[in-house]
Homo-oligomer: A and B are copies of this chain.
């Protein structure tokens, strides 16, 4: 039983689990469904994961870690201009949201199913990610680019961005970058 390893097999199983969790919801996804999707029997599943909870934690950790990495990379690649940084964060957010869509939908809507230990651990990752946002928004406010309270503005922006998973169609005419540009245009005073 691999408690914390990241074998390629386990990574692939985690990806499949994310897909099923999105389709059915965590509670309605049975270990038998997961096993079938993975091409094994339900008993074999517990060789890779200690229990069903651990699969959920693996899915969410994967997604959140990716978001953090992508956001950091995006910020390091642009200059100190507040507007450029705001753009970069919005683009990075939507990019990871739809590149790892399944994992992020699970993170956004099944977080409450995590047991307290896993939730505490993953909260740190998520907090680190949101701290990046608060930093960028603070700069935008000080530069007069956006008007409002830092806390509220960051919540509104993240809400607007996260909600896109409920309506955005990747096969439609708009790219995630289009969305990011439109959102920034909407909130910047000029």
User: Mostly helix, strand, loop or mixed at chain A's interface?
Assistant: helix
**A28 contacts the other chain (Cβ, under 8 Å)?**
yes
Which B residue's beta carbon lies closest to that of A178? Answer: B152
Which residues from chain B contact A27 at a C-beta distance below 8 Å?
Answer: 25, 27-28
Nearest Cβ on chain B to A40's Cβ, whole angstroms: 24
Number of copies: 2
Please encode chain A, from 134 to 162, with 1 for each CB lying within 8 Å of some chain B CB and 0 for all others: 00000000000011110011011111111
A147 near B186: Cβ-Cβ < 8 Å: yes
Which B residue's beta carbon lies closest to that of A113? Answer: B25
- 16 A-B pairs with C-beta separation under 8 A: A25-B27, A25-B112, A25-B113, A147-B185, A148-B182, A149-B182, A152-B179, A152-B186, A153-B186, A156-B163, A156-B182, A158-B163, A159-B159, A159-B166, A160-B163, A162-B163
